[in-house]
Amino acid sequence: MPASILVATNEKKWLKKIIEEKFQLDITDSYSCKRLSELLSKDLNLEINYNTIRRIFEVVKTKSNPSVYSLNILAKSIDFKDFEAFKKYIYNW
């Protein structure tokens, strides 16, 4: 199983906001998560299950933390090298 990490609430909010803007999609329900998964696969050749997206953006409640792999996929979808580069951007490091 891939390593999971704790993600701050503001990091999730920024990630969601930028993804929603780029893909012109409100991530609010299972359908929108499925649509995002399809767009990432078709347009960018990035594979992430819509259930993972639902858990990361708390469309469904979960007690688990997201994997670094999943976060890297989402960061790549908005033109960052990985999730660490995304964090540096939002914190202006």
pLDDT in tens, the chain (93 residues): 578 899 999 999 999 999 999 999 999 999 999 999 999 999 999 999 999 999 999 999 999 999 999 999 999 999 999 999 999 999 997
Residue 29: what pLDDT?
A: 98
Residue 19: what pLDDT?
A: 98
- For the entire predicted model, the pTM comes to 0.93
Residue 1: what pLDDT?
A: 57
Cβ-contact 66, 4 below 8 angstroms: yes
CA 42/CA 36 separation, integer angstroms:
10
